[in-house]
Structure 1
């Protein structure tokens, strides 16, 4: 099993290219099930989750062709992938595939919309808290689907003639459920109105892609999304938006270590709230022609309190990284997690590096320390793992992060990107 070894103490200087967003690429890939034509996606990141989903889509009959090309070094890898599903050969998504990645459960929407039936295993994923599929199933039921759970599988059947548009209000904001209901509604008869919808940029990206395929979706990015059903969707070409979580992660790494880095190919509008908070810690952030410039010239890190919220609030996917930053702040900060009830598993690992963090329910009190010291640590989930990397970059001596397969799920070529900016980071295979 691979590990990452970090020798801390170096400021970061240079350019980091931001990859396509994993959280956008996955639902876009799943949308290929909605059409018999080819969906071409540009700027697809090379990640374990993307590769896993390609295997799942192949099981349903999607033919996948990958074009990879090496651009100049500053741009890194660029992948264009063509997805063609002439015929859906299997409407079952088996446990052995779905259990490895929660987002694969989302195939239930397109399968149901196009074929009128789906049998999908209940999902797996990171152990960061309970994420029930109730919202998904209630939304699909509002479109007329009959839902039965049996033997660990969800069996969904559309009424004769297909799904029917309806008005539905989510009792709680859910990005995944909004993705699924929006995809399912594109082929439903009549108009669907989704209220209390998620507003994340990835929702807007999916809507833009579906509209390019012939869907009629309006309101994406607001709390109310309207979908006018069509009889069929066509192929399209779409570029995956930049990864705002990767953007925020590297911005916090620069704020943690000091330095001057341009995050190339990203967009500040994707994470305004997080960047505003990062500025309050003392980092200088400015827009450039190609992305964002992050600078911290050795001044102290100011403590700032944050509360995670659905977009446009502070992202839960940046909570662990921000906590790592606050371990070196000159004072006390408070971090409240409102999205997932078990997303503080990185606290004990940060403590191994010398952090002073105490928990009270869903709030962490972080007392900044003058120094962190390297130690062996264990990654517990995707975002927690990269928070340990950030802390290790600023720690004295050597930090070894174990179980880095979590990192490979969501961060493309992390060691290479950091090393090119002066960090001492290497992957070690046992």
Structure 2
């Protein structure tokens, strides 16, 4: 477990790892491309390591240069036999991104139901709708699901999503890549993670046109070329968590390696709380010693709309808002089980939070927290509890580090680099 103690304001400079949420679909896209892909800035968190292992088991070679473990070269093996049972796919949500690559290589995909954080059901119905639009056959069972590829076909695939699902949007993009067919997708998800996948397929020749209402793709005119080189962007959620930790302690620091377009909604939320923050010279800079509380209160509503607040920003913002004057509203209907994980743990630290509904809550700050034993019941709950622990009187001990490491290779180490009193202790 980890012990967290309050201390002086955080300061200095730290760099984030590559983004877990971007690396997972990019790795699946590399496999779907059926040509060598060099992917740089691959993070070392547990979920990404599981995805790399799944690719190896399913018929791809994944190699790492000896002098650069953060680079992965993905290329298909010559043997096209049936893949081994991909049991580990049940441990991560992003295993469903592998379906198009498996269809391209084996003609079918057999996977267990996706797992990951216990923050709500991992519905696959919209994914199945995407595959059926391409003529694929789907079947479900108690232990998992099966998708069988349709015979090769031509013509544009047109589909309108009933809501802006990130997973279904990526599934549609990767399925059209392996089919080499044009796609017209209405009401797409255009979160930064999807945009990075679109940038990657555009870099290998696809014509990509994206608007809030319509995403269209057309295949390249020429065949495969040289090895594609893609880069995983810096982790916007890790950057946001570190920014909230800096702000909670009244510090001034820079978080390098993050792209401005990825953290815009997070910066807007900090401004709403009166905390100066911006992207300067490729880094997220927080100047919380100049904080001027507005007292207006924060409305942190998770949204799938373009430019909306990513649900993963909500937990660290909640931990930060506990110390900021005003009445603050938080809502996350995207992950309906998240508040049931996070709120009881914050309550153990003395937080007074009104639960309006299972997905909506309200709190008034500032509040004084007291250290206690808490548990990282999912990735983002764990990171938010570390932020809260930096301002709680006494010692906060955080268990469940396996959950935290699924999304962050070493978040405690990054906090220590900024001057936080964080150390690993024996239970």
Q: 1:160 is matched with which residue?
A: 151
Q: Is the 8 A contact 2:244 2:316 kept in 1?
A: yes
Q: 2:400 is matched with which residue?
A: 403
How far off is 1:191 after superposition? 1.7
Q: 2:13 is matched with which residue?
A: 15
Q: 2:264 is matched with which residue?
A: 272
Work out the CA distance in 1 between the residues paired with 2:362 and 2:347.
12
Q: Is the partner of 2:189 in helix, strand or coil?
A: coil
Label 1:190 to 1:101 Cα distance change in 2 as closer, same or farther (>3 A): closer
Indicate yes or no: 2:289 matched with 1:326: no
Work out the CA distance in 2 between the residues paired with 1:241 and 1:94.
31
Q: Is the partner of 1:187 in helix, strand or coil?
A: helix
How far off is 1:288 after superposition? 2.0
Tell which deviates more after alignment, 357-366 or 381-390: 357-366
Tell which deviates more after alignment, 361-370 or 55-64: 361-370
Offset from partner CA, 1:195-248 (integer Å, 9 cap, x none):
11110111111122123334x241246442212246965530011112111121
Work out the CA distance in 2 between the residues paired with 1:103 and 1:87.
25
Work out the CA distance in 1 between the residues paired with 2:354 and 2:155.
50
Indicate yes or no: 2:383 matched with 1:386: yes
How far off is 1:151 after superposition? 4.6
Work out the CA distance in 1 between the residues paired with 2:165 and 2:107.
24
Indicate yes or no: 2:122 matched with 1:131: yes
Q: Is the partner of 2:65 in helix, strand or coil?
A: strand
Alignment of 1:286-305 (within 5 A): 286-297=278-289, 299=291, 301=293, 302=295, 303-305=297-299
Work out the CA distance in 2 between the residues paired with 1:60 and 1:97.
12
TM-score, reference length from structure 1? 0.92
How far off is 1:185 after superposition? 0.3
Work out the CA distance in 1 between the residues paired with 2:337 and 2:127.
21
Indicate yes or no: 2:348 matched with 1:352: yes
Question: Which runs of 5 or more residues in structure 1 are unaligned?
Answer: 71-77
Indicate yes or no: 2:218 matched with 1:228: yes
Work out the CA distance in 2 between the residues paired with 1:394 and 1:67.
41
RMSD across aligned C-alpha pairs, in angstroms? 2.1
Q: 1:55 is matched with which residue?
A: 53
Aligned residues between the structures: 420
Q: 1:340 is matched with which residue?
A: 335
Alignment of 1:9-88 (within 5 A): 9-67=7-65, 69=67, 79-87=70-78
Work out the CA distance in 1 between the residues paired with 2:192 and 2:211.
7
Label 1:232 to 1:112 Cα distance change in 2 as closer, same or farther (>3 A): farther
Q: 1:219 is matched with which residue?
A: 209
Alignment of 1:197-276 (within 5 A): 197-214=188-205, 216-220=206-210, 222-229=212-219, 233-234=224-225, 235-276=227-268
Label 1:223 to 1:408 Cα distance change in 2 as closer, same or farther (>3 A): farther
Work out the CA distance in 2 between the residues paired with 1:223 and 1:409.
33
Indicate yes or no: 2:409 matched with 1:412: yes
Work out the CA distance in 2 between the residues paired with 1:87 and 1:162.
25
Offset from partner CA, 1:325-347 (integer Å, 9 cap, x none):
11112232111223121110211
Offset from partner CA, 1:130-180 (integer Å, 9 cap, x none):
220011110010011111123523222222225864100111111111111
How far off is 1:250 after superposition? 1.1
Label 1:82 to 1:395 Cα distance change in 2 as closer, same or farther (>3 A): same
Q: Is the partner of 1:186 in helix, strand or coil?
A: helix
Q: Is the 8 A contact 1:165 1:185 kept in 2?
A: no
TM-score, reference length from structure 2? 0.92
Q: Is the 8 A contact 1:39 1:237 kept in 2?
A: yes
Work out the CA distance in 1 between the residues paired with 2:85 and 2:154.
23
Offset from partner CA, 1:366-411 (integer Å, 9 cap, x none):
1224421111001111111100000001111110010011111112
How far off is 1:116 after superposition? 2.8
How far off is 1:299 after superposition? 4.6
Offset from partner CA, 1:51-95 (integer Å, 9 cap, x none):
11111111111111113658xxxxxxx711111113464555746
Q: Is the 8 A contact 1:349 1:378 kept in 2?
A: yes
Offset from partner CA, 1:290-339 (integer Å, 9 cap, x none):
31210111757543122111141111111111111111122321112231
How far off is 1:190 after superposition? 3.5
Work out the CA distance in 2 between the residues paired with 1:57 and 1:94.
12
